[in-house]
């Protein structure tokens, strides 16, 4: 069978769509956790409460996008400087703005204070012993760590960048288990957390996509990823009983297969024949949704009590579905009226605002 000629795109629609879907799943996870913690209610049978696979997806995706965006910078004298400038202008403006807003909100809420948070580390996405001001932003410290490793590797001779990056990532990810270091969000457990294996898997997936254009391989990898996602979701407690490193290796394989499979499949199709597109801009707004939905949840669970809904499981489930929808809409509003203007401002400073959480500005690898 003759496949259509591969056509370049401003971004990969399939990956962008999945990015939006998983952003919504993150919101669902936090709604379920809040419902159990504050209302003692299991939302939809706690189906969203367990497993961190939604975050695992974004770690693999970040590795994929970062390597696809900066592969050609390898070995250049100013690679590290340009890398950090691009990432700074993309990552920090929205994070700092929302963190400042959180400080103001806590100041005006009786009995609440920002003093229990580490303010400067929260603003800079640095590792800390507790959750940051924007709770969901705890993942950004891992992003910053991997980006630092990538930036350092970029100054090596070009042929050594990828082998060094992958080797160092694997050594760090495996050493924690070999040395008996417990994975954590700070300290040695942070430096050796197996999350770095997921970033490395994304890098490897981006490199494989560059070397191939097979539709059949793409469909096979998507099928493999769908099967792994189903198994991992249904067998969460079995998977959770395994060492953290093996859990992360499992999800690294699943999502690296899915992301690379979608990219290969899409690249083998004509643009107008690819149907999996980000029609509601969930993918583009996913960073805003990811960082801002906590404000909606904080307000809802502070004001609304299950007694107001008659303690009826049906009404509680429907109400929390509405909360998910409102959180997503709020995130889209933040994207439209805050994140996007910040990006335009960054571009006016002549520093490209490339995307740390997805494939919005990346060409097909």
Cα–Cα nearest to 198, from 268, 253, 257: 253
* pLDDT of the residue at 10: 41
Helix (H, G, I), strand (E, B) or coil at 352: coil
Residues in the chain: 365
Residues 244 and 257: their CA atoms lie apart, in Å, by: 20
* pLDDT of the residue at 200: 97
Helix (H, G, I), strand (E, B) or coil at 182: coil
Residues 84 and 274: their CA atoms lie apart, in Å, by: 34
| pLDDT over 70 at 11, yes or no | no
Q: How many Cα neighbours within 13 Å face the side chain of 291?
A: 28
Question: Which tens digit of pLDDT belongs to each residue from 105-154?
Answer: 888 877 777 788 899 999 999 999 889 999 999 999 999 999 999 999 99
| pLDDT over 70 at 162, yes or no | yes
Residue range 56-67: mean pLDDT, rounded: 95
- Contact status, residue 353 vs residue 256, Cβ threshold 8 Å: no
| pLDDT over 70 at 1, yes or no | no
**Host H or E run for residue 191:** helix 188-191
Q: How many Cα neighbours within 13 Å face the side chain of 147?
A: 27
**Host H or E run for residue 335:** none
pTM of the model: 0.91
* Model confidence band, residue 347 (pLDDT cutoffs 50, 70, 90): confident
* pLDDT of the residue at 352: 53
- Contact status, residue 31 vs residue 297, Cβ threshold 8 Å: yes
Residue range 340-347: mean pLDDT, rounded: 85
Cα–Cα nearest to 18, from 234, 230, 197, 260: 260
> Where would I find the H helices in 109-183?
119-124, 138-154, 158-178
Record the tokens describing residue 248, joined without a space: 């992360």
Cα–Cα nearest to 98, from 329, 307, 342: 342
Residues 140 and 126: their CA atoms lie apart, in Å, by: 8
Question: Which tens digit of pLDDT belongs to each residue from 251-284?
Answer: 999 999 999 999 999 988 887 788 888 888 999 9
| pLDDT over 90 at 87, yes or no | no
């Amino acid at each position: 069978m003759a496949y259509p000629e591969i056509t370049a795109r401003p971004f990969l629609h399939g990956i962008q769509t999945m990015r939006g879907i998983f952003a919504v799943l993150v919101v669902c996870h936090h709604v379920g956790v809040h419902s159990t913690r504050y209302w003692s209610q299991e939302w939809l049978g706690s189906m969203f409460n367990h497993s961190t696979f939604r975050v695992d997806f974004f770690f693999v995706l970040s590795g994929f996008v970062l390597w696809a965006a900066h592969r050609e910078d390898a070995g250049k004298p100013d690679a590290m400087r340009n890398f950090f400038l691009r990432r700074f202008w993309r990552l920090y403006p929205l994070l700092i703005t929302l963190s400042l807003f959180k400080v103001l909100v806590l100041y005006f809420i009786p009995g609440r204070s920002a003093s229990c948070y580490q303010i400067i580390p929260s603003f800079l996405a640095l590792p800390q012993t507790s959750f940051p001001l924007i709770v969901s932003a705890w993942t950004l410290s891992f992003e910053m760590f991997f980006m630092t490793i990538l930036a350092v590797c970029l100054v090596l001779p070009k042929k050594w960048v990828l082998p060094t990056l992958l080797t160092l990532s694997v050594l760090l990810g495996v050493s924690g288990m070999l040395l008996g270091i417990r994975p954590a969000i700070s300290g040695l457990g942070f430096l050796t957390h197996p999350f770095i294996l997921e970033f490395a898997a994304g890098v490897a997936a981006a490199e494989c996509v560059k070397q191939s254009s097979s539709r059949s391989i793409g469909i096979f990898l998507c099928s493999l990823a769908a099967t792994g996602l189903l198994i991992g979701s249904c067998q969460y407690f079995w998977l959770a009983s395994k060492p953290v490193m093996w859990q992360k290796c499992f999800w690294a394989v699943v999502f690296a297969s899915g992301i690379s499979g979608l990219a290969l499949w899409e690249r083998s199709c004509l643009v107008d024949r690819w149907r999996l597109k980000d029609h509601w801009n969930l993918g583009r707004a996913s960073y805003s949704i990811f960082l801002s939905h906590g404000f909606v949840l904080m307000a809802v669970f502070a004001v609304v009590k299950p007694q107001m809904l008659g303690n009826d499981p049906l009404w509680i489930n429907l109400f929390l579905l509405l909360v998910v929808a409102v959180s997503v809409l709020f995130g889209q509003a933040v994207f439209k009226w805050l994140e996007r203007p910040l990006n335009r401002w960054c571009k006016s400073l002549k520093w490209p605002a490339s995307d740390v959480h997805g494939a919005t500005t990346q060409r097909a690898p």
